[in-house]
Amino acid sequence: QDDAGSSCVFMDADIECPATLPYRPVDGSCNNPRYPWLGRANTPLYRLLRPAYADGRAAPRRGHRGRALPSAREVVARLMPQVNHEHLTTHLFVILGQLLSHDVARIDAPKNQATGPCCNTGRGGADDTCMPIPVPADDPFYQHLRVRCLPLTRTNSTTCHSAHAEQLISVTHFLDASFLYGSDGATSARLRSGEGGRLRARVVDVGRGDFGQFPPTDEASADLCTNSSTTCYFTGDERANQNPMLAALHTLFLREHNRVAGALADRNPHWEDERTFQEARRVVVAEWQIIVYRDWLRWLLGEDRVRRLGLVPRGPTARSQYFPDVDPRTANDVTTAGFRSLHSMVQGHFWLGARGRRSETLTEWFDNSAPALERPLGLQRVLEGLVHQQAQDLDRWMDDEITTKYEPVRTRAGRPWGTDLAAIDVQRGRDHGLPSYVEYRRHAGLPEAFDFDDLLDTISWQDVRDLRQVYDHVRDVDYYVGGLMERRAPGAFLFGPSFQVMLEDQFWRWRFADRFFYNFAGFAHSLTPEQIWALEGTSVGRLLCDNVKDFHYVPRDPFVKIGYRGNENVPCESLPKVNFDVWKEYKDGTEERQEEWDSPEEMDPWRRDDQSGWQDGPGWHGGHGWHGGHGWQDW
């Protein structure tokens, strides 16, 4: 598992970065002026809290009293059964979160590991790649199937320049729509059509006069789907086929890219493929960032919180708001626990159509998305379902579809079964060395917990009672589990303090430490202020209206249910649009840029301005005891 570690290629390779870059590099390199590898694909995750490995190096954490921790499956079976409580966000809110998580993280297992069930091998030591989840004999679900363990392979990690294992991810850490464009040059090249700046797409006659574009199918993607009989999509991310809702969003962004490329080419017929592609990519990445930060984030973190953190972008901001001293990477603590907590919001049965008269079972469509979308009204019905079905609440209750039937859906004695995603989440936290819940509580500014009763300030007495029955000691409680039990933090919308704090920190990094974030004006790669303003016209509603046949009405806010705070269906014509006229080039070939950003000094990407443009972010952010991990890690 020490592949990259031995050579430390990700840090030591000389990455040549030109002084100015007109477009964001596809692999995420050359973003940070001093450390060009930061945020690049195939580099380690950032970490907010010091890891808790049993041997200080890589071995999974053990219980406080030296005993083994309860099995991750036991934790889930006893603490996270299915109870349905609906939330007022929509399923679109949830699945867009999945797409976002795929933009910023993808852990991998070692490539040439021995395949097999990864169980009963007698292995499982510190340096082993195998970390199966034991299933207790009295398990409420698996006992009837005589399943005694669930396979799990440890994540690829490195000990390069570090005393302990750091997990690697193979996608760019930035919100750069790498799920659409890929995270390396070769993939990116294969995704492009080579004409008109477009991405490759298949035009499919799905019936009823609908000739829509879908992602290409490819030999390379054929083995991505466990269900080998199916059509398997080739996109920028290997997980696109995982469920039809996710594949529908991939399709939507693919169509949007080609629509934007067309609009730009119309206005600039002299542009070649490369120019049109890169400009369209810059536009679509900006639209994606606007949708996430302006429209989606308020439901994740709470409207007041995002506003006070200065996270809601509006129009151009000066380049001085870029923070080159902040680590822009995805944090292990976030992607392995806090962000995964949205697994609890997934509906095991997803709607087709706006009224939910028909629904489909998630597990039946695992890795089998194309057939669900490429049928008459297929894509449209999945998307209508997404904007109208309510999500499950964020709580410790998980849908059985993902806790007992995830992935290879096999049938034994007529019963479909698979592995347990929530148990994997818990086990993965231990694999990655995440410290116990009490450490995260403290990091969030809550008092030290010495005993289970000390948790009562944020967790109900019933939940504390149940925790006590599963864990030996309060210091054993997994972050994922404790975090899901917490009551909402003040001003938060979904999370208790221990998740809220980490996610706020992360969304701050992904924005202010990404030099290419769409609304920094004044860099060589910046959009013009006029273009930045024009992009305010984008929205998910607009994406649906512009790219899906017969979408004539959309909820004004597709992330919350109709009726909440006056949310209602509105006709497409009433939504703003992006006006692409401001992308039209002057005859002399120069782009339309405002004078004030144009001085050569301003174009020096490594220059650091004062931070006078700053509103209320860093004061709150840096000044709080909450945010210790603001600067560099000691590598």
- Catalytic residues, by residue number, are 102
Cα Rg for the chain, rounded, in angstroms?
24
What letter represents residue 627's amino acid?
Answer: H
**Is residue 176 at the binding interface for Ca ion, with CB under 5 A as the rule?**
yes
The entry of ligand HEM, Ca ion, none near residue 98 (CB within 5 to 8 angstroms by kind) is: ligand HEM
The entry of Ca ion, ligand HEM, none near residue 94 (CB within 5 to 8 angstroms by kind) is: ligand HEM
**Is residue 404 at the binding interface for Ca ion, with CB under 5 A as the rule?**
no
Contact positions vs ligand HEM (CB under 6 A): 94-95, 97-98, 101, 105-107, 242-243, 335, 339-340, 342-343, 346, 402, 406, 421, 424, 428
Token pair for 488: 């909402």
Least CB distance to ligand HEM at residue 132 (A): 13
**Cβ-based nearer residue to ligand HEM, 425 or 602:** 425
Q: Specify the residue for token string 């894509």.
A: 379
When CB distances to Ca ion are compared, the closest residue is: 178
Run of H or E including 79: helix 72-79
What residue ranges in 420-562 does DSSP mark as E strands?
520-521, 553-555
Residue 283 makes CB contacts below 8 A (sequence gap 6+) with 260, 264, 535, 578, 583
- With beta carbons less than 8 A apart as the criterion, state whether 348 and 399 touch: yes
The entry of ligand HEM, Ca ion, none near residue 178 (CB within 5 to 8 angstroms by kind) is: Ca ion
**Cβ-based nearer residue to Ca ion, 172 or 242:** 172
- With beta carbons less than 8 A apart as the criterion, state whether 433 and 54 touch: no
Least CB distance to ligand HEM at residue 413 (A): 24
Which contacts (CB < 8 Å, 24+ apart) does range 373-378 have?
A: 373/214, 373/244, 373/247, 373/248, 373/251, 374/204, 374/206, 374/214, 374/231, 375/206, 375/207, 376/206, 376/207, 376/208, 376/210, 377/206, 377/208, 377/210, 377/550, 378/206
Q: What angle in degrees, to the nearest 10, is found between the helix axes of 244-267 and 378-388?
A: 110
Residue 353 gets the label, from left (phi > 0), alpha (psi -120 to 50) or beta, of left
**Is residue 237 at the binding interface for Ca ion, with CB under 5 A as the rule?**
no
**Cβ-based nearer residue to ligand HEM, 402 or 464:** 402
Token pair for 378: 């297929």
Q: How many CA atoms lie within 13 A of 226 on its CB side?
A: 14
**Cβ-based nearer residue to ligand HEM, 250 or 340:** 340
Least CB distance to Ca ion at residue 106 (A): 9
Among 74, 103, 431, 546, binds Ca ion (CB under 5 A): 103
- With beta carbons less than 8 A apart as the criterion, state whether 440 and 497 touch: no
The entry of Ca ion, ligand HEM, none near residue 340 (CB within 5 to 8 angstroms by kind) is: ligand HEM
Token pair for 245: 């809702």
Least CB distance to ligand HEM at residue 95 (A): 6
**Is residue 427 at the binding interface for Ca ion, with CB under 5 A as the rule?**
no
Least CB distance to Ca ion at residue 183 (A): 7
The entry of ligand HEM, Ca ion, none near residue 213 (CB within 5 to 8 angstroms by kind) is: none
# residues near Ca ion by CB under 5 A: 5
**Cβ-based nearer residue to ligand HEM, 343 or 475:** 343
**Is residue 172 at the binding interface for Ca ion, with CB under 5 A as the rule?**
yes
The entry of ligand HEM, Ca ion, none near residue 97 (CB within 5 to 8 angstroms by kind) is: ligand HEM
Secondary structure (3-state) at 25:
coil
**Is residue 178 at the binding interface for Ca ion, with CB under 5 A as the rule?**
yes
Least CB distance to Ca ion at residue 449 (A): 35
Q: What angle in degrees, to the nearest 10, is found between the helix axes of 91-104 and 378-388?
A: 100
The entry of Ca ion, ligand HEM, none near residue 103 (CB within 5 to 8 angstroms by kind) is: Ca ion
**Cβ-based nearer residue to Ca ion, 326 or 382:** 326
Least CB distance to Ca ion at residue 550 (A): 32
By CB under 5 A, which span of 95-103, 113-121, 230-238, 456-464 interacts with Ca ion? Answer: 95-103
Of 575, 86, 498, residue with least CA distance to 291: 575
**Cβ-based nearer residue to Ca ion, 436 or 506:** 506
Q: By the criterion CB under 5 A, which residues form the site for Ca ion? A: 103, 172, 174, 176, 178
